[in-house]
Structure 1
Amino acid sequence: MHEPPTHVSDQDVLDTVRATWLPDTDTVTHLSVGFGAHHWAASVAGERRLFVTLDSLGDRHSADSLTAAYRAAATLAAEGLEFVHASLTPFTVPFAEGLLSAAPWVDGHRPERLEREVTSTMLARLHATPPPEGMPRWQPLVGPDLADDLDGRLRTTWDGGPFSARAHTALRAHLPAIDTWATRYHRLAAEAASRPGVPTHGEPDVHNQLLTERGTLLVDWESLRLAPAERDLRVLDAGGPMAEMFDLEWRLDEVQQYAVWFQQPHTGGADDLEAVEGLLEELERPDWREPTRRQ
């Protein structure tokens, strides 16, 4: 997130990091990276040592499922998947209204573009690894009645902030399409539930890759799930109904989250701007099409 959370302070984070992972920590700095969770760098004498994450709980994560995902990622790393950059134990600790976790700091940078061969190799190894015990299993993220739920929300005036009316108007205009997407999604999700699952990262694109001296790492394992491989392979333009289903899942989940966001009070800051742009992109982008096979 671009802006620090308003409900916790850096001192709160520092105290928890000292008590849980690194007693010598003398500074934590909020980082303007990612979107959805908050992150800090924890430093000792000016040297960054930990990457600290605050995940929220709710429809996407319970305390048990989030902890299980981080624990499973650590197991995958211990079993030889060197590209899995896993969290430290304890994998999570209660903090504010969510869970705090920490991973070792690694210097690196995000790739400018997706390296298909590198990504394909990592995913093939991940998908071929037996799933660790207790790994969370994928389940549909949005209900079949999403359009009805939104219709109910939209019957009231949204005036919580500068982007409320814009979001309200866009969602109202796209309700028929949202209903169509949700129906198709659940038809395909029923088929996905009958398929064998493999360990999947969930979002293995460039935003969760880090180029380091150790090679390319996959980071942010909160979305680790036992699921059809297409959950990951869609970033490589994999085709077929399952790729379409996970594309619909991303779209509908984004729409659902942003609808809740803009029905509530907001100030119009950098995070709000990115959120409203994300909502409009998901509502207006073309429907999924079978990718053209590469030669």
Structure 2
Amino acid sequence: MRSRPSFVTDAAITEALAEHWRPVTEIAYLPWGFGAHHWRAETLFVTLDQLEPRHTAASLESTYASAAELAASGLEFVCAPLPTRSGRFTAGIGASALSVTPMLNGRSPAEDEVDKPAILAALDALHHAPPPAGLRHWSPQVGPEFAAELRSRTAAPWTSGPLAEEARAALAARSDEITRWTARYRELSALAASRRDTWVPTHGEPHNDNQVTTPDGLRLVDWETLAVAPRERDYADLPDAAGLDPEMMELFALDWRLSELREYSDWFAAPHTGTEDDRIALEGLFEELAA
């Protein structure tokens, strides 16, 4: 996130690191990414994940533990969280969870700089790895009632902030499309569920921003979305990879779009002030509605 979290200070993050991982003397907020908050703390990359709606504290802990298990099994491209002194991989801070990984020596490639053979090889290795016992299975991100609830929710003006009404009007204008998308999504979700015996470990968002090119090769970061699922979940940015099922590709395009619409509708129906993050979110909402 570009803006610092309003509910926690750098001092509180420093105290949590000292309690659960190790003491640090230098910490700096990093206005990177979108969705989680990040800090550099000497050689540690610190992430504060908000749990809802994707996770509970227990599911995020098991997800990060599963990522560490995959790394320990020999998947060197997995940049997994480091354990706390107690052996856990997260520490609670209010309604959020703190985790740390090593600060990598490298950079994320631009979209046109992605090393396609390297990422395809990494995904193939991940998809052939035995799923860790505690790893969650993917499930639909929105329910069958999503479109109807959103139609009702956007029927009256929103007064929650400077961008609220613009967001509400955009959602209301695409209500019929959202209804069709939701129906097709539920149909494809049922098809995927009928093939659960073919599901594999998937990263969930292995796009260029979650790839880091290092002197030791490719590393994949941000394992918060790790789940057992159809392999097509990982190929949104690699649609020409061999052997992909078109219906499963459609499923995960809708999975992304509808989950984003749910999060953006929650965002703008809630109080906001028009920050840089708010404006980035509004652009994201328009992008998904234009799909």
TM-score band by shorter chain is over 0.9
Relative to structure 2, which stretch is displaced further, 201-210 or 113-122? 113-122
Q: 1:201 aligns with which of 187, 200, 203?
A: 203
Deviations 1:107-138 (A, max 9, x none): 21111223221111100000001111111111
Partners in 2 of 1:10 and 1:96 — Cα distance? 15
Aligned residue among 97, 100, 107 for 2:98: 100
Instruction: Give per-residue Cα distances to partners, 1:55-83, cap 9 Å, x unaligned.
Output: 11222101111111100110110010000
- Name the counterpart of 2:221: 219
| 2:66 aligned to which of 68, 72, 84 | 72
- Corresponding residue for residue 56 of structure 2: 62
Please name the residue that 1:109 is paired with.
107
- SS of aligned partner of 1:274: helix
Partners of 2:2 and 2:245 in 1: CA distance: 34
- TM normalised by structure 1 equals 0.92
Measure, in 1, the Cα distance between the counterparts of 2:235 and 2:115.
13
Per the TM alignment, residue 27 of structure 1 is displaced from its structure 2 partner at its CA by 2.1
Q: Offset at 1:40?
A: 0.8
CA drift at 1:156: 3.1
Number of corresponding residues: 279
Tell me how far apart the structure 1 counterparts of residues 192 and 245 of structure 2 sit (CA, whole Å): 14
Using structure 2 for the length normalisation, give the TM-score.
Answer: 0.94
Correspondence for 1:138:
138
Percent of aligned pairs with the same amino acid: 45
Match in the other structure for 1:174: 174
Separation in structure 2 between the aligned mates of residue 63 and residue 194 of structure 1, nearest angstrom: 29
Correspondence 1:26 to 2:25: yes
Conservation of the 8 A alpha-carbon contact between 2:155 and 2:172: no
Q: CA deviation at 1:92?
A: 0.4
Q: CA deviation at 1:245?
A: 0.2
1:27 is paired with a residue of what secondary structure? Answer: coil
Aligned to 1:276: 282
The 2-side partners of 1:180 and 1:155 are apart by 18
Maintained 8 Å contact 2:138/2:228 = yes
2:223 partner SS: coil
Shift of 1:155: 2.7
Structure 1 runs (4+) greater than 4 angstroms displaced = none
Task: Report the alpha carbon displacement of residue 208 of structure 1 after superposing the two structures with TM.
Answer: 0.4
- 1:218 and 1:233, CA in 2 relative to 1: closer, same or farther beyond 3 A? same
Cross-structure match for 1:229: 231
Report deviation, 1:271.
Answer: 0.4
Q: CA deviation at 1:239?
A: 5.0
| Whole-angstrom distance in 1 between the partners of 2:8 and 2:158 | 27
- Match for 1:81 among 50, 75, 78? 75
